Structures are given as C-alpha cells and as structure tokens.
Structure 1
Amino acid sequence: MSNTSLEKIGCFNTILDPYNGITIESKDLPKTKEEFENNLDFLIENVKNRRFLIWIYIDIKKSDFIPITTKKGFVFHSCDENYILLVKRLKENAVIPTASNHTLGVGAVVINDKNELLVIKERVSTAGYKLPGGHIDDAEMITTALEREVLEETGIIVQFESIISLGHFYPHQFHKSNLYILCTAIPKSFEINIQDCHEIIDAKWIDVNEYLNDEEVLDYSKAIVIAAIKSKGFARTNQETLCHIKKDFELFFPIES
C-alpha cells in the first residue's frame, strides 16, 4: 500500500491508501488500551461514510490491543514475527488486497567444465541427491538468494545465469502455495565446503549423465537438468525500463536464439 496523504483523526495519524482506506502504523498507537479504544470509536465514526477500509498495524508489545479491534469488526489480514495487520471493511464491497499467499524457493543447476553437476543430500530427505537451493528470504532478490543458498549448502561460489523453470505447489508450508524458481548458475569456485551442516550432510560434483541415469533421483530433478541443458531460459536484463521506480527489483526476459 503506497502512502498518498496524512490526516490526523483523534490521536491517530492516518495514511490514505489507493483503496480509499486509511492505515495506522503501530508506532502511532497510544500507550493505554482505554485511550486506544476511545480513539478507535471516534475514528470509525469519523470515517465510516467517506472511507472504505481501516488498516491497523499492532506491534507484538501491544498485543493486548488486538481483542479491542476484533470486537469492533476488524479481522486478521497478515503478520510478521513482530506485528499483526488487521483490517475493517467500512463498505460492503470494498476491495481488500490479498495477503501473502505463497512462499518462494530457488534451486540451482550448476554444471562445470567437466560436465559435472553440483548436487546435495539433505539430512531430513529420504530421496537421493538433489539440486542445491532453498527459501528466498523476505525482501531478497532471486539472484541473491540463489548465490547465497548454493554457497551455504556447498561452499561453491556461483554467478546467476538464467531462469529455466517455474514450479507451483499447493499446499505447502503454512497452508500456502509455493513458487519454486529453477535457475542455471556459473561456478566460480570448485572445492566443496558445506557451511550449513545442520541441513546438508553431503555435497558433490557428479557426472551429468550419471545423475540422469540414477534411479534414486526424482524425475522432476532430471527434467530440470535436461531443460537447463537444452534451453537458454530467461536472463536478467539491464533494467533500464524501470529505472524510475524507487524499489529493488529484477526483470527477466527470454534469451534470444
């Protein structure tokens, strides 16, 4: 939600959003529950005929404010480890943007000059060797996550090359969807040195053909490796088309033949 204007209503600094809703940040909440409830009543009465939504961020340190909001018709929207975001619909058909409904993962196909593929074996997995990768952290770029995960799991320094496959899985963790982004990467080092020994019990280079003929390897993993060999995929571009946006972003377009 982008901030467009600020209005003081009671003790609250309210920020107007593109959905004709107002947002109250947790830093702008009063100190006591009594003051919060009195001002919340005033706020709702003041804006109910001119706004569609009220959003309130509540810090975990003020979690005793939550029952006050739910009593007044607010519902949970999304959260992080330190806050919860609640929303109240003031107009029946007001649009409430979808909360985060997926997790993101990244995997890497790394093949060296000897036609060897970089693979790992997880401590908790009963399957055979798989491609290195893992979760993309909040606010982390795809290319950054790829290079970080490969380094943590194998000790190999790599450079992102292209995206070659997207997988969508549901249900996944936390009853959400999962988007799995498979990439190719160029190795810049070759000596295995596992950093994440809690999750990874082995990492190695293996001949590509041997990997593709291994009956313990999942067919899905084999399909990804074959796609990486046959397809050029989507490369990260120069990003000049969005240079005016004041946000971190990455753009990927098909590699021309």
Structure 2
Amino acid sequence: MNILEERLSPEVLAEARNLAASILDPNTATRSEIWKSVWDKPLYANTKVTTAHRWIKEIEPFRDEALLSWGERDGELYIEKIGPGTKRDSFRISGRASNELLSRTQVARHRLFGIQGAAVAMRAMPYDAPFERLAAQPLDLAISNIQRAYGGGWGPISVLHALTDLGLAVKPDIHLVRSARAIGLLENCHVSVKPDFKQLLEINRRVGLLCHEKFGDRSGRNLRYLDKVLMEISRCGMLTD
C-alpha cells in the first residue's frame, strides 16, 4: 500500500492529512459540532459525490435551523411519512420554511426526512459530548443505536460515513473496497457489491488492523487518513495500471 500511497498527488495527500487533523473528538464534541459534521450524510447515499455536493449547497442555509426545530409540528419544517417506500407521495411537508426549501432544491423527500430524523435524535441527546457513550461501544452496537435513533434514511453506510468524521470507522464505499481488495487486505473475505452488515464490520476490522500495522496505533486521525488514502487510490484510477 505504501507504494500506491506515494504515487498519489501532493494535493490528495495534503487533503487526507487535513481531513485527519480536522476530525472531531467524540468524547468532547458538542451537539452542534457533531450536527455540522453528520447532517448531510443522507445526501450521499446511492448518488454521485458531485450531486451530493450540489444538494448540500442548496440546503445548507437550513442546516442550523434544522437542528433547532425540524420535526416539530410548530417548527420551521415538519415532514410526515404517509406512505410506503421512498416515493415522493409517501411524504408530506409542512412548516414555515417548506415553500422556501422546496423552491431551492429538488432533493428527494426521503433524504430530507433522514436529515429531520437525525435532528430530532440529536435534540434528544445531551448538548455536551452526546457521542461520548457511543464512542465507547463496539462498532456494531454503535451503528445499530444510531440507526435506531435517527430512523429512515440512515443505512449502515450512511452511519459509517458519519462515524468516519469522528475517527471511529471507515466508510466502505466502492472505492475503498476496491483498494482494500487490491492490496490484499480482503484476502479470504467475500465482499458483495453492496456489502451486508457483517461484511461492513469485517472491512472496518481489517482496515483497523492495517492502521495499527502502518502507524503503530489505531487513532482516529490515522484511521481517517487511511480511509481517504484508500478511497483515492481507486478513485484516481491507480488500480487500472
């Protein structure tokens, strides 16, 4: 892996180091700090990163208010799930900010519902270090607890994406899995095109072992750096050589 890492551009490596340096400490990060890091993760699920970034730009003006009142009947935005699945008609949107929000973006309502669910759950958590307890839990339990609290729109991958910014996990997207397989990290480990829960945990376990082998520890910063580097090795096309 070190050889592939050295072939990444200085800009990519600098970005990886910056991401590693900017992770939140789950033992001390406040509710508002964590919210600014995790709120947008439902926008990345099953879509292109460029599309997710466009959506984020469109609805970021509502981010702080979302934490304060989304999901309350008398709040700025209230989304009800009134039908099955994720189709548009399965959700009803109301609230003082609903018209402005819908005029700004075409983000699917089930994604907005996921953001709302996270906001409701975050308001129920302590303001000071709400993730401290989760950080001490085994990864499988932490994922399950967050999914249960946040509700619809928060699959295991979205939760892992959120935990990545806290240095608690890696996000096993298609690029990280390709790189991990190419360097032999997934030897004797079957990983589906869409990894199941058990496979996601195993990938995280093996990347954690690689992190300890490479850096001598499994600190949050080193794990975040490794997550970015593994993703970029594949995304930059290095595995086609």
TM more than 0.5: no
> Which structure has the highest helix share of the two?
2
Larger radius of gyration: 1
Structure scoring higher RCO (CA < 8 A, sep ≥ 6) equals 2
TM-score in terms of structure 1 length = 0.21
TM-score in terms of structure 2 length = 0.22
> Which structure has the highest strand share of the two?
1
